[in-house]
Amino acid sequence: MRNETLLVRWSLQVGFLLVLAVVGCTPDESPFRAENEVLKRQVVKQESLLSSLQDGSKVMQQQIDLLNQELRDAKSTTEAAKADAKHQLEQLELQMAETKRMITTQMTESLKVEEKGAQSDTLPRPMPAVAKVVEDALARNGYHLKVSVKTDQRAVYVTERKISNPASLEVTGSRNQYLISLQALPDSLTKLGVKAEFERVAQGGRILTVSHEETSEIERRLINEINKALESPAKT
């Protein structure tokens, strides 16, 4: 009986020692689990950040594609507008050329009638230079332009009627209006035509008859003044 009791005690002691040995030898896994949790959370956070970056990159790419499309559309619209503007400009130039041709034709036909009886001269200067001198001469003598039409080949000036009232019973006044035509000729020459509608005015506004020679003299005076101005380097 005593031996059995000792055996039981010895068995309990051995078992207790084995339990202590087992418990003492098992490593503490709690630090590893905590570190694993931290790593897992970091991985999840990085994956979330990567996903956000990818989404942001997609949005940016969509914006870039949209801007590129808008740029292509704007470029296409601009090119179409340029082509339309060019076409309209070409049409306008054609209309202007046709208008100038019609004006020149009408001027030529009109002047064939108006120039009958006018004094004329051929000047050794190109038409633009002669036109400038004509305008200066008219202004210098107190004539204001009523009509002024110029093309590359023709020019026409019609002045307002200039009136000089009679100073006394013995001295008559006058009124005059000029029709001046210019025509460009080869070799930088210009044909000048001057026609005057000259009248004498007596006291009370009575119109006196003037001779053709007197009117021609008025026309020649203007032609001579234009010639003198063209001969002066300061004028041309």
Predicted pLDDT at 43? 64
Tell me which fold the domain 111-231 belongs to. Alpha-D-Glucose-1,6-Bisphosphate; Chain A, domain 4 (3.30.530)
- With tokens 């040995």, the residue in question is 21
Domain ranges of the chain: 111-231
Which residues neighbour 165 within 8 Å (Cβ) at sequence distance 6 or greater? Answer: 173, 201
Burial environment of residue 80 by CB neighbours within 10 A (0 to 12, 13 to 18, 19 or more): exposed
Q: Is the predicted pLDDT of residue 156 greater than 90, yes or no?
A: no
Q: pLDDT for 88-127, tens place per residue? A: 888 888 877 776 666 666 655 555 545 567 789 999 999 9
Residues in the chain: 236
* In the chain, % of residues over pLDDT 90: 21
Q: Is the predicted pLDDT of residue 179 greater than 80, yes or no?
A: yes
Predicted pLDDT at 113? 45
Which residues neighbour 148 within 8 Å (Cβ) at sequence distance 6 or greater? Answer: 155, 156, 157, 158
**Average model confidence (pLDDT) across the chain:** 77
Which of 119, 157, 106, 150 has the alpha carbon at shortest distance from 135?
A: 157
Which of 120, 191, 195 has the alpha carbon at shortest distance from 155?
A: 191
Neighbours of 126 (CB within 10 A): 15
Give the separation between CA 51 and CA 135, rounded to whole angstroms: 83
Cβ atoms 156, 181 nearer than 8 A:
yes
Q: At what angle do helices 127-140 and 212-231 cross, to 10 degrees?
A: 120
Strand pairing partners for 148? 157
Cβ atoms 156, 127 nearer than 8 A:
no
Strand pairing partners for 195? 179
Q: Which two tokens stand for residue 52?
A: 């956000």
DSSP assigned state of 236: -
Burial environment of residue 230 by CB neighbours within 10 A (0 to 12, 13 to 18, 19 or more): buried
Highest mean pLDDT of the ranges 25-39, 124-138, 209-223: 124-138
Cα separations (Å) of 68 from 40, 73, 78, 173, 197?
A: 42, 9, 15, 81, 73
